[in-house]
Amino acid sequence: MIGNLPSLDKLIHEFSKLPGIGPKSAARLAYHVLKSSQEFADDFSSAITEVKENISVCENCFSYTEEESICRICSDPKRTDEAICVVESPSDISSIESSGVFRGRYHVLHGVISPLDGIGPQDLKIAPLLSKIKDSLATDAPVKEVILALDADLEGDTTVLYLAKILGEMGLQTSRIAHGVPIGGDIDYIDHRTLGRAIENRIQI
Ligand SMILES: [Zn+2]
């Protein structure tokens, strides 16, 4: 802290709230902004404002969207309604889309079941997933398969077991992505070809 530059202290303080940014990195970033051009600072601050103003959560899959209420993937008539790929967070969708092997719909849980952190099924977007599937079963485009593309760690496994039981009782084919996903692996960090193979070689539960 400089002491006589409260505006700089404030920026350092804001940067230090970012994940993975300690006090030293926060100070380095803040000084970088200070030394940068006015144009850079304006672009940077408007990018932050715009991301909050323009992006909302899709009412159907709970991914992020810049459309009014339903995202592009949910409203794409060329995709099949027969398969839903369930992911932990919106960023997982871009990883799976890059692999190019999945042409169904998505559903974002916004987390995974983690009893140690006090996160139960009711804290996730599980109820809307189940009612969406239930509703589809009464239409001429019913969901036939649910692919659980969750990380291969304890919380991911717990969530897979929980969902597979309920979906099985509903008579749905449930699978989870398989080969190439290392134990404890975060699907965000797996290369696209490996992730593509993991989806193609998914294991039925
Ligand atoms: Zn959507």
Question: Which percentage of the chain shows pLDDT scores above 70?
Answer: 93
Q: How many domains does the chain have?
A: 2
**Å from CA of 77 to ligand 1 middle:** 13
Residue 156 domain flag: yes
Q: What tens digit of pLDDT does each residue of 93-138 get? A: 998 999 889 999 999 999 999 999 999 999 999 999 999 999 999 9
**Å from CA of 105 to ligand 1 middle:** 8
Single-letter residue type at 119: I
Distance CA 82, CA 79 (A): 9
Same structural domain, 121 and 191:
yes
CB 121 within 8 A of CB 113: yes
Same structural domain, 108 and 166:
yes
Same structural domain, 104 and 200:
yes
**Å from CA of 72 to ligand 1 middle:** 7
**Å from CA of 27 to ligand 1 middle:** 38
Answer left, alpha or beta for residue 180, where phi above 0 means left and psi between -120 and 50 means alpha. left
Residue whose structure tokens are 């190019």: 100
For residue 187, give the DSSP letter: G
**Å from CA of 110 to ligand 1 middle:** 13
Same structural domain, 16 and 114:
no
**Å from CA of 58 to ligand 1 middle:** 5
Q: What tens digit of pLDDT does each residue of 5-35 get? A: 999 999 999 999 999 999 999 999 999 999 9
At what angle are helices 6-15 and 23-35 packed, to 10 degrees?
A: 130
**Å from CA of 143 to ligand 1 middle:** 15
Residue 187: pLDDT band (50, 70, 90) is: low
Of the listed ranges 38-52, 119-133, 175-189, the least confidently predicted one is 175-189
Specify the CATH number for the domain of residue 176.
3.40.1360.10
Instruction: Give the residue numbers spanning the domain of 150.
Output: 79-204
Same structural domain, 125 and 166:
yes
**Å from CA of 64 to ligand 1 middle:** 8
Same structural domain, 151 and 114:
yes
Residue 1: what pLDDT?
52
**Å from CA of 68 to ligand 1 middle:** 11
Distance CA 109, CA 195 (A): 19
**Å from CA of 90 to ligand 1 middle:** 10
Specify the CATH number for the domain of residue 49.
1.10.8.420
Residue 184: is its pLDDT beyond 60? no
Residue 176 domain flag: yes
Same structural domain, 25 and 93:
no
Same structural domain, 24 and 113:
no
Residue 148 domain flag: yes
Distance CA 65, CA 153 (A): 28
Span between the terminal Cα atoms of the chain, in Å: 55
DSSP one-letter string for 33-101 = HHHS-HHHHHHHHHHHHHHHHH-EE-TTT--EESSSSS-HHHH-TTS-SSEEEEESSHHHHHHHHHHT-
Ion ligand 1 contact residues with beta carbon within 5 A: 58, 60-61, 71, 74
